[in-house]
């Protein structure tokens, strides 16, 4: 199975609301954000960014997005309204290690780390939204969270894995699904579907990307990407996956973003910080279309 290498998708599915944010990357380092309303089967294209965007978390209510944006050797953690990147909160990082964070609630953020000159409130053109608080992760918070561990708790699986038959999977992660099915992955990226008795149903081809279990759709199943295409493998097809020569034969195409191209799309008013909130008197928030200018302002 071969797919065009022109673009690829990464996907963050909310465990609390039927929403997902898709980051479409390509060609090269162009990244576009897309908001997927799963119940409505609708997709809204947001900002394009000339750099890399890693989606870290959606707030429990789906209103806020926490992402890590990098451009060259510089980087930021950004609080915004999906699928837009205009910043309601901005923390300069300066490198590519341990950035991002997660939501404790709709109004509380834990940042993995911030730059040496930053405070928890950040220093973007606009202050944090009213009622929003942010703090930096400490050892008292326990292990740095991984998004997939949230799926463990949401679907009743254990964060600790005990694989006696295949110890090479012991240091990977697992997503639990109904009827005891599991999606397992090693740290090296090998993936497989396993039933409740530990029997391997099949392996996942390496060209399949953004693979996650989606409980929200009209047909629950595994969503995944092939290049710029978003696909659904229905739940009822999973037990027979070992007998399907091509995973696409049992899948449904949900959307194809391959043909999208860069467009300078300004954020709508509802995705902008409140008027009068700018620290400099006229700022409307860090905007990915003018990120270089924002960096200059911050360093003066």
* pLDDT of 33 above 60: yes
Residue 106: pLDDT band by 50, 70, 90 thresholds?
very high
As a whole number of angstroms, the distance between CA 293 and CA 285 comes to 12
pLDDT tens for each residue of 267-289: 999 998 876 555 443 344 567 76
- The total number of residues shown for the chain amounts to 300
pLDDT tens for each residue of 146-198: 433 333 333 333 333 433 333 344 456 777 777 788 888 877 778 888 888 88
As a whole number of angstroms, the distance between CA 209 and CA 229 comes to 10
CA 76 to chain CA mean position, Å = 16
Phi, psi of 138 (to 5 degrees): -130, 170
* pLDDT of 236 above 90: no
Q: What pTM value is reported for the model?
A: 0.81
Encoded tokens for 172: 């990977």
The pLDDT of residue 80: 94
Strand order in the sheet with 108-111: 101-105, 108-111, 133-136
């Amino acid at each position: 199975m071969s797919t065009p290498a022109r673009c690829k998708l990464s996907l963050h599915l909310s465990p609390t609301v039927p929403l997902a944010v898709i980051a479409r990357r390509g060609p090269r380092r162009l990244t576009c954000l897309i908001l997927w309303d799963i119940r409505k089967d609708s997709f809204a294209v947001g900002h394009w960014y000339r750099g890399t965007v890693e989606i870290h978390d959606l707030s429990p209510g789906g209103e806020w997005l926490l992402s890590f944006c990098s451009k060259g050797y510089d980087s930021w953690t950004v609080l915004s309204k999906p699928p837009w990147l205009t910043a309601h909160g901005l923390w300069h990082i300066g490198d590519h290690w341990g950035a991002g964070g997660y939501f404790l609630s709709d109004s509380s953020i834990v940042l993995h780390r911030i730059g040496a000159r930053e405070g928890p409130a950040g220093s973007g053109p606009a202050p944090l939204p009213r009622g929003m608080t942010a703090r930096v992760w400490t050892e008292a918070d326990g292990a740095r969270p991984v998004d997939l561990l949230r799926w463990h708790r949401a679907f009743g699986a254990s964060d600790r894995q005990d694989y006696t038959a295949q110890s090479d999977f012991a240091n990977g992660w697992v997503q639990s699904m109904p009827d005891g099915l599991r999606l397992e992955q090693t740290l090296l990226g090998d993936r497989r579907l396993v039933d409740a008795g530990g029997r391997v149903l099949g392996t996942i081809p390496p060209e399949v990307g953004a693979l996650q279990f989606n409980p929200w759709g009209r047909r629950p199943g595994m969503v995944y990407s092939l290049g710029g295409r978003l696909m659904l493998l229905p739940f009822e097809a999973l037990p027979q996956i070992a007998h399907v020569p091509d995973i696409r034969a049992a899948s449904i195409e949900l959307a194809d973003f391959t043909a999208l191209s860069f467009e300078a799309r300004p954020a709508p008013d509802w995705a902008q910080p409140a008027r009068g909130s700018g620290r400099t008197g006229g700022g409307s928030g860090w905007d990915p279309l003018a990120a270089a200018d924002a960096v200059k302002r911050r360093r003066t």
